[in-house]
Amino acid sequence: MGNIAIIKTGAAGDVVRTTSLLRALKGNIFWITAEKNKLLLPVDNKNLCVLSVKDAFTELKDINFELAISLEEDADCATLASAINAKEVAGVCFTNGKISYTDSSSHWFDMSRISKLGLAKANQLKAENTDSYQSHIFRMIGKKFNGEPYQIFADSSIETNKELVGIATRTGTQWPDKQWWGYDELIRKLKSEGRDVKVFNQQTDVRDYLRDIARCSYIVSGDTLAMHIALAYQKKCTTVFNCTSPGEIYDYGLMKKIVSPLLHRFFYSATYDREAVESISFDEVYNSISI
């Protein structure tokens, strides 16, 4: 295949999980992403060019593409997807002056906030879905997902500490119920047993955050960026699912999914719900850790 454009700007974890496409696509790949997420992408893929949305409008205007894969429910990205000179577009674009999506991507975007079926039906389909995100994005372009791993930046100088447990306590603001009540107790318990524990902090340079995770042998987190980085680096992990879809996450044989018994009640809730955050017991998470 010739030139391919991938439009995926954020969130950071979504950018990471989209990199499985890099294992399946042949040709020159132009990835359009948010400035802050550029550093997540691999530097050793010589067929990959990474651009911001702003730069892409200028730098891609004279390039012919075989395919544009447009994965953001965003007006600027939809405009870019429609402006690119591509033989085929899969995903979000402009149709009749409004944001829409191609039939080839309807199985994914019918479950989204731009669903042609309405939000209620979209939420129902999302709750019923058991196919991984990767299965959906591969299907958009006529391919079958066969467990292709992520491909992100990796610092080859980093050595794994086989005794180190990494814990990500932070969550983003969009889904506050991703938080779990027991992290502090878990940290105290592991340290009292003489275990090495690394609590991840937000870093100015995201690659320093990647390096922190790379040093660990086991990761505990919610459905967050740390989880996706753990999978990218083939780390065993425990992941807490209070409000997001566990079925959508492909575990690569590395993950223990701890799913809230109240998931159906707080599925993609945009508010903080104490009952959801406290719905998974300490013992269930603690006993899942194997290192």
Report residue 101 as tokens.
């999506």
- Helical segments of 29-150, H only: 53-59, 75-83, 106-109, 119-128, 133-140
Q: Which structural domains are found in the chain, ordered by start?
A: 3-140 (3.40.50), 164-286 (3.40.50.2000)
pLDDT attached to residue 145: 98
Please identify every stretch of the chain with a pLDDT value under 70, giving residue numbers as ranges: 1
pLDDT attached to residue 291: 81
User: What order do you get walking across the sheet with 236-241 strand by strand?
Assistant: 196-199, 164-167, 218-222, 236-241, 255-259
- Per-residue CA distances from 230 to 77, 143, 215, 224 (Å): 28, 25, 10, 10
Among candidate residues 157, 7, 22, the one with its CA nearest the CA of residue 90: 7
Query: To which H or E segment does residue 7 belong?
Result: strand 3-7
pLDDT attached to residue 185: 98
Contact status, residue 236 vs residue 162, Cβ threshold 8 Å: no
Among candidate residues 5, 92, 1, the one with its CA nearest the CA of residue 48: 5
pLDDT digits (tens, 9 = 90+) for 88-123: 999 999 998 899 999 999 999 999 999 999 999 999
pLDDT attached to residue 1: 65
pLDDT attached to residue 10: 87
